[in-house]
Amino acid sequence: MKEFEHTNALELYKDFLGEERASRLPAVCLEYPFGIIDRNSSDNGENLFQLRCGLSVDHDNGTISLAASIPEGSEVTLTIASRGDIINGARKAAEQAKKSLAGATPQAIIMFSCVGRKLVLGRRIQEEVDAVRECIGLDVPVIGFYTYGEIGPIDKTKKELSSVKFHNETVVLWVLGKE
C-alpha cells in the first residue's frame, strides 16, 4: 500500500500509531489492522469491515505490504481491539454458528483462527477456544488450526451478510449438527 488520498501510507500509519508503537513496526501491524469498510454490509445499522493485516514496511519507500489486497478506491479505517474484544469476537462467532444449527445438536466444531489472532492473544489464546466451547458445548469435540486468512461469510443466517469474503485476523467456525 503506497498512499491514502495522496498521503504516504506509512507516514499516516505511523501518525495513527504514535511514536512508541511505530517504533515496533512491522510487528505492531498485527495489533492495528486496516479495515475495508463495506457499505453493503451492516449489523444493527453499524457498517462492517474486512480486516487487512500489515506484514512488512518499507521505510525508504513509505509503503506497507499487506496480507491481502485493498481494492483501489476502497474506504479504509484503521482499527484497534483489545484482547478481550478478540475473545468476545470468537464468542459472537460461536453464537452465530449455534443459531445456524436451527435446533440441531452440535456434534463437532471445526475452528479456523488467524495466526495473527494467536500472536496478539499470546498466553490468552486458550480463552478463544474456551469461549467457543462454552457457547456451543463443553462436550463437543473441537478440531482446527491457525490460518493465514479466512474465507467465509460474516453471518450466513442474514442474507445481507451471507456473501463469502476473504478476511484477516478473524475466526471462522463450522459446527456440524445432528437433528
For 70-90, the pLDDT digits (tens) are 888 888 888 888 899 999 999
Cβ–Cβ < 8 Å for 76, 32: no
Q: How many residues does the chain have?
A: 179
Give ranges for CATH 3.40.1260 in the chain.
Answer: 83-178
- pLDDT higher for 53 or 46? 53
In 3D, which of 105, 102, 108 has the Cα closest to residue 173? 108
Give the model's pLDDT for residue 45. Answer: 67
pTM of the model: 0.83
Please name the fold of domain 83-178: Hypothetical Protein Ychn; Chain: A, (3.40.1260)
Compute the distance between CA of residue 90 and CA of residue 134 in angstroms, rounded to an integer: 11
Sign of CA dihedral 133, 135, 140, 143: negative
21-43 pLDDT tens trace? 999 999 899 889 999 887 766 66
91-142 pLDDT tens trace? 999 999 999 999 999 999 999 999 989 999 999 999 999 999 999 999 999 9
Q: Mention every residue, 6+ apart, whose C-beta is less than 8 A from residue 16.
A: 32, 78
Give the model's pLDDT for residue 73. Answer: 86
